[in-house]
Amino acid sequence: KEFSFKINGRLQADADSFDGFYTQNGERADETYFRRARLEISGVAFTDWGYTFNRNFTNDSSNWDELAIHYNGWKPVQVSIGRINPTFGLEEA
């Protein structure tokens, strides 16, 4: 429990196929792209200290969503420092 890590990820892809009615030139068209491609590494560095690294690799946004260090020594409170991206709503589900 003193040193641990886990690797997590998420990949969401969209694929569409249109017949000639929905395209400007009247011909069939296909489209495929990644909506989300994320890699997350988190764990415990010492007994009371943890970390979270979360990166988004999609075309529209290639950046770090979360880079944080956590102190868990004051249960049930967790103190976090860094870039934190809390999850709100159903968009992440």
- Give pLDDT tens digits along the chain (93 positions): 688 999 999 898 999 888 877 677 878 888 888 888 889 999 998 889 999 999 888 766 557 888 999 999 999 999 999 998 777 777 665
Instruction: Specify the pTM.
Output: 0.64
**Tokens found for residue 79:** 């103190």
Cβ atoms of residues 46 and 69 within 8 Å = no
Chain length of the chain: 93
Burial class of residue 52 (count of CB atoms within 10 Å of its CB; 0-12, 13-18, 19+): buried
